[in-house]
């Protein structure tokens, strides 16, 4: 599956603009990490793009990401499906590959960064800094649905210091801010 096919699958199952933008943000973060780790940027980006493609149609923990995994079976490598299944802690799927660990590490963080941009008067990422993301992480009532534990655990599992992790994801999202409407 190439990126164009993955995007078509995403929009076939996802109509909410916020969910599409989240998929794009995770794709950007996955691509940035693939570059950092010397991995295949295209495949990592596709995994990021598809990680929640089934969420709108199957929003319960019984449906997502299991239904998506069924749809992807035979269309993408098993490693991709395992990474997607492992991005939710509730699935119990172990994150053993660098790809799986990275997807888990960036998923919640992209949501926190997006929320930090949206509270700015201009609703733009350009002025969002590492220090503001760190402050927002400490404020448990800000973007309360975002798991701070998943963010810190993800960075730890990657062996990346939290500040560097945030900087990598924030930088990737800033480079793609126009696509994100931020």
Angstrom distance (rounded) from CA 135 to CA 116: 10
The structure tokens 């069924």 sit at 70
Angstrom distance (rounded) from CA 110 to CA 113: 5
Helices (H) and strands (E) in the chain, counts: 10, 0
Q: What pLDDT score does 39 carry?
A: 98
Task: Confirm whether pTM is higher than 0.95.
Answer: yes
What is the DSSP code (8-state) at residue 19?
A: H
Angstrom distance (rounded) from CA 27 to CA 91: 21
Tell me which CATH code domain 3-176 carries: 1.10.3210
Q: What is the pLDDT of residues 171-182, one digit of tens each?
A: 999 999 999 999
- Count of residues for the chain? 182
Q: What pLDDT score does 103 carry?
A: 98
Angstrom distance (rounded) from CA 50 to CA 84: 8
Q: What is the pLDDT of residues 105-160, one digit of tens each?
A: 999 999 999 999 999 999 999 999 999 999 999 999 999 999 999 999 999 999 99
pLDDT class of 10 with cuts at 50, 70, 90: very high
Q: What is the pLDDT of residues 58-114, one digit of tens each?
A: 999 999 999 999 999 999 999 999 999 999 899 999 999 999 999 999 999 999 999
Q: What is the pLDDT of residues 109-120, one digit of tens each?
A: 999 999 999 999
Kindly list the domain boundaries of the chain, sorted by start residue: 3-176
For the chain, the first-to-last Cα distance in angstroms comes to 28
């Amino acid at each position: 599956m190439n990126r164009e096919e993955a995007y078509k699958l995403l929009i076939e199952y996802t109509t909410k603009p916020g969910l599409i933008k989240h998929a794009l943000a995770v794709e950007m973060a996955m691509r940035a990490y693939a570059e950092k780790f010397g991995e295949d940027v295209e495949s990592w980006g596709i995994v990021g793009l598809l990680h929640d493609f089934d969420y709108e149609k199957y929003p319960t923990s019984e449906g997502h990401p299991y239904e998506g995994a069924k749809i992807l079976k035979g269309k993408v490598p098993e490693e991709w499906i395992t990474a997607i299944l492992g991005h939710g802690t509730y699935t119990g799927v172990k994150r053993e590959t660098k790809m799986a660990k990275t997807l888990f590490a960036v998923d919640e963080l992209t949501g926190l960064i997006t929320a930090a941009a949206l509270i700015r008067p201009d609703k733009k990422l350009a002025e969002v800094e590492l220090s503001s993301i760190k402050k927002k992480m400490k404020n448990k009532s800000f973007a309360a649905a975002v798991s701070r534990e998943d963010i810190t655990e993800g960075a730890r599992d990657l062996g990346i210091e939290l500040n560097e992790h945030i900087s990598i994801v924030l930088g990737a999202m800033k480079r793609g801010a126009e696509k994100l409407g931020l």
